Structure 1
């Protein structure tokens, strides 16, 4: 059986993560791999309820928000991510634990270390084989988003700037696990950089994509 693979795409709202998830999934499926595309929050029926509650419901306190997102990830890993990897699939997720650390730890100022520890407990210390950070400025993200769709998108640029800087700091601290790409580049060139990193690191094996 081919080993399972876990890839996460991270970045601010409007960075273009969804486009890159789709391009990579299409490429891997064309190469014959089973691909499971998911997102957080919302990758399971329970997660969808949590997503709607936190992003579109009434006010949720910052600590409660962090705990709800941790619950989503715990259930998601147990019910979807680990079983998919165990059977050899490639799991590609739009957001994972780094989003919680950046948004609740840095953006909400709850403490990155505390939120990271909570997230790692929730997911049983499962980390992606590669995390791609699609980097854009807060201003560019706001321009791309246009209409505000949820509570987090409605936050001021200072909030989104803090998130961006924390993403970049995480990548700088663990370059072997992260790839930072310029979100203002063409989708095709970003995709090529992602595939190149996966190939050069040996995660895909020879001739997979």
Structure 2
């Protein structure tokens, strides 16, 4: 089947989100997935959050590198605003037939803020600014133990990369995914190639269901 006929069959592009703990291999897998889908004839775009090139993104970058401090609620809203900055272009790309791969999204945003254990910043509070953003057709969660992540190069370079924080993040991801659909858990402790194959299979199944899903949906409230 040619790439053109594939694109005609699926009509719109898909919104694919890749989430996971730090050093789970998200960026490498996003790049491999982008290459694979292009080889299959799909138009693909790959973006990462936070987008550190925007004015808001530069504030976030300073915070993550530890060179600036922000109040917990304020930095959370900056992360969310960073996603809203790009939301319209994501929708436009998908409606024009481009599949968009996103490295980190609203799920990370809510979970990492709630993991700070601020009594006035719950998971429910953190999720509120995400309501109405484009909803992924599939969210791939790369699951890896904190011990394995700590063995990987570069671990600990940024603010959230410590065992205590990562343990809380893992627990909150589990809670969030019990209350949201379209999540596919991938064992990121496997080899790079094995993980890539698992992701490819899940994404191909998602692309085959786009006609059933219909138009791009919006993120809604957390299920009770």
Structures share fold, TM-score greater than 0.5: yes
RMSD after superposition:
2.1
2:146 to 135, 138, 144: 138
> TM-score with structure 1 length normalisation?
0.85
Q: Which has the larger radius of gyration?
A: 2
Aligned length: 198
SS of aligned partner of 2:41: coil
Which position in structure 2 is the counterpart of 1:68? 78
Q: CA deviation at 1:10?
A: 0.4
SS of aligned partner of 1:126: coil
Give the Cα separation in 2 of the matches to 1:19 and 1:188: 11
Is the contact made by 1:10 and 1:94 (CA closer than 8 Å) also made in structure 2?
yes
Which position in structure 1 is the counterpart of 2:109? 100
Q: CA deviation at 1:204?
A: 6.8
Is the contact made by 1:198 and 1:204 (CA closer than 8 Å) also made in structure 2?
no
> TM-score with structure 2 length normalisation?
0.80
Which position in structure 1 is the counterpart of 2:196? 191
Is the contact made by 2:29 and 2:196 (CA closer than 8 Å) also made in structure 1?
yes
Flag structure 1 segments of 5+ consecutive residues without an equivalent. none
Which position in structure 1 is the counterpart of 2:184? 179
Which position in structure 2 is the counterpart of 1:10? 19
Give the Cα separation in 2 of the matches to 1:77 and 1:43: 15
Is the contact made by 1:20 and 1:191 (CA closer than 8 Å) also made in structure 2?
yes
Flag structure 2 segments of 5+ consecutive residues without an equivalent. 1-7, 212-224
Deviations 1:173-206 (A, max 9, x none): 44x500111111112221222222233342478x
Q: CA deviation at 1:146?
A: 3.8
Which position in structure 2 is the counterpart of 1:35? 44
Is the contact made by 1:171 and 1:180 (CA closer than 8 Å) also made in structure 2?
no
